[in-house]
Structure 1
Amino acid sequence: MDIIKVAAYCRVSTNSKDQTNSFENQHDYFLDRSNKMTNEELVEIYADKGISGTSLKKRDEFKRMIYDAGINEYKGNKKFTYEIDPSRKPKFNKIYVRNTSRFARDAAIIEILRELLKNNVLVHFLDIDLIYDSIEKEFTLNLFLNFSQQESVDKSKKVRDGNEVSANKGIIRVGGKGIFGYDYHPITKTLTVNEEEAIVVKKVFELYLNGYGIRRILNYLQENGYRPKHGGERFAINMIKRILTNEKYFGCNVRNKYDSGTVFNKKSYAHVKPEDEWKVFEDVVPAIITKETFEQARKLKQGKLHHELQRGIYKGISEYAGLIICGKCGKPYTRNIDRGRIFYNCSIKKSKGTNECDNINVNLSLIEEALDIILKKGVKESFEKYKSIMIDILKYRIRDELTKRIDQDTTKEVDILKQKYDNFIQQKNRVADLYISGDFDKAYLDNKANELNIEISALESRIKELSKNNDEILDEISQFDRVIQEIHDINIEEVKNREHLVNLLKIIVERHPKNEKRPILKIMYKFDEPIKRIAEKYNILEGINYMTTHF
């Protein structure tokens, strides 16, 4: 009797006690079921705990299961795509899911199911007794997935409606960790001042109004022994920002201030709504500071006073947390001290070792030297030159090329490219056959497959561009004109000190190609999104979107 290797997937959406029981019940169910099945071997149970079913982004166990099923996930510009990896055989041939909504409440899951089916991995939804073993089952499965999706939408709407009712009543809400400076009483839904923490709140506003930046405030709090509400060595940057923008500190309860989107259209972060939509209830919270102090801090943050107060002042800032990014793995660099020498290294390298990331460390002195050089050159002048270069590239390289394609017959060129495309696809299939046969070096075949994928992707993009008709080309030219105007409208004031400068930049650390012991700092603007968006689309990022590249 052939033994079928199977896996199981279970998920619960929160970390509450009831859901923990549900999680354990699902886990035990699959173990019991496996013991009763004589023709099956349970390879593994994949379990996501405390994760929503409306998105696949954070479901690590689900992704690990897909990987073990021989499917690779690729991140595109707007969505993830999935493709069979011919170099890996699936560890199992069937996945059991006890409840359809436990698998996903996102109808886009069909794409994954199709790839699993192509790789001879079936999914059995036990609650509806449906085995996805044919694309003909998609209609029925889609009905159930859509029912689950609509259920989530309805629940989300009820929560939003409930929030609106409580907002209109002025009910005070706090997050899971409470509000620093206050003690929350859930039964009466009221706040009372925590006198010890209130001292810190007052100090934060005092320092900010005296010209301290966020990082200098953080350093002051740490050096003077102040600690966050729930432990930890130091306050976070966002914590200080929240203190400076929370109206409760002057006695005001503001509801309906933020919009985080709907369940299937979540924003990456909560957006502040227009002030005329806020529900404002004054004098309902015990005040820690005056309204005048809060308004002064808000005006300072908005930049109405900031430039005048900070002009020409350098406060010895040496903390660049969150601003230095690893050019190899994309994670932030963290601050370290070794025998008095201050340096930064990759947080992944620090926590997991050089096997995970071996990017080079960088001394604080080199970072500050680079920033001083930028200040000396003049940030405003440098940025205006950068803008001018980008606009010229867009106008005279890309836009002109598009214009030339109007009324141009590209049929022959497209046919030639399609022949090349078909040839590369045939080569890729041959590589897959060789891989499966096991007669050739797999590392060599992996490299060859990657090279072919790059060529195929480039050809697909080129064929798509050349196949556009006049209307599509004219529409793209119109988009270009709008982006060029966006870039033209970006303006910055001159910067006179490091503290102000670091708020405009991020620093990418890479190894020097000819000297392994020497770092290269790539200093990038944070606020030129129109430039990055268009440059990335047309592959003109490298060597252009840096203020300067070598330090």
Structure 2
Amino acid sequence: MSTNNKEQINSYEAQKVYYTQKIEENPDWELAGIFADKGLSGTSLKKRDNFNKMIAACKRGRIDTILTKSLSRFARNTVDCLETVRMLRARGIGVIFEKENINTLTESNEFLITLFSGFAQAESESLSGNIARGKMMSMQAGNVPFQYKKLLGYREGEDGKPEIDPEEAKTVRRIYRRYLDGCSLSQIQRELEADHVPTARGIQRWSYQVIHNILTNERYIGDALLGKTYVLDCISKEVRKNNGERPQYYVENNHPAIIPREWFQRVKEEMTRRASKRKVMQRHGKTELGKYSAKYALSELLVCGECGTPYKRCTWARNGKKRIVWRCVSRLEFGTKYCHSSPTLDEEKLHQAILEALNEFAQADSEVKEDMLNFTRLVWAGQEADGTSLISLKQRLGDITAEQALLLDRVLENMNDPDLNAQLKALMDEKQAVQEQIQAMEQEAAQSENRMSRMAELREWMAKLGVNTEYNDEQVRMAVERITVVDIETIHIKFRYPGLEIDKKLN
């Protein structure tokens, strides 16, 4: 038990003893009850259960006078205090504040009540401000709090520091892996619930928001962003998201990581890609191209060679027989107005052609696959920065900032000097250019880490790739970047590896 909790309990017990003695000292009083809440600030009535029970007893006529040691024990919110006192006085019930020597049934005492309750509220606001400053100093020092009951994958170690919970960490990695495999949040939710996987709170019911929070929580890469939310004030206790109103602090490598940084970055990129899918005109509202679909891989990959519009899976029913086909969305919505000759493709033939292409790739010699991997690595390496040192750029930025400060002092002394103003503008322009270079290089460094991660995945996937007898959406997502419908008999498959593109016939 903490020291604060002990003090709260001792204070609570002391209040009970105090009021019991007061009743004994006044034999003409009849005790209706002792109402005290443990360890609450008194700035809000919502969670003061015993206080609310006392008010309810007053409304039922069980209490005619309330004795309280001081006004701050009654309420530390001026509005709540006055409203409660007025309500009780309207019912003929008085409140006696011993320390302040106030009886609320005397009308002249309302000013004093307002005054003293204002003091009590100000005291709470001061304490709240001290606590907020203490938390801010703690964040500045890099102290990271952990709520283990709400954070899947971690538990408190013997040394008091966070350590990885192996079983829960498997669930976290599974969620990231499935999302990068192309699954939607709803698919991941169904899989977890079907396998009876528990959440951090131990329940087996998942929500989209919980899964989304796991996918966007920097704690899983060993970092911590402090100051995500803040309490507006000690009276309303409203918690708001910090959108720049208060300082935030980012602590790197604070605890063991469950997932690689590359996975975290790729999830962010994939979320952005899914959210930024453009919408097209819709005539009947039957289809929505701006919404990511994880149900079928071809919904993301298959496009019309004539108009560039994605294809959509449809069910045809003729003569009592159902047939699954894929059709150009533009043709579905607008007929031949924009797309004149896009063919309708039978799903079974389409799957067979893609499967054959994957199997041809799987049967390639190991040397051919290694050459493809090396070529991919060289292409990606060609996208790296031009060799400019990030350290030298940051050093130059520091020099510019120092020069800018000195030059600004001279400009302030000679506001009308055109040469000084021109030098200051040139320096500010250079500073902005250097800042943009630094930002671009930091983004490129993150992308480079992603490429290394993808190369490792490609190598692992190629090693496991075998000849399949059935079409598999996950295999297609992993290997294929785009499939273009050339005509009713031909599709053009572009793999995720630079330079690997083939045409396949639909038999």
Q: TM-score, normalised by structure 2?
A: 0.49
Larger Rg: 2
Indicate the structure with greater strand content. 1
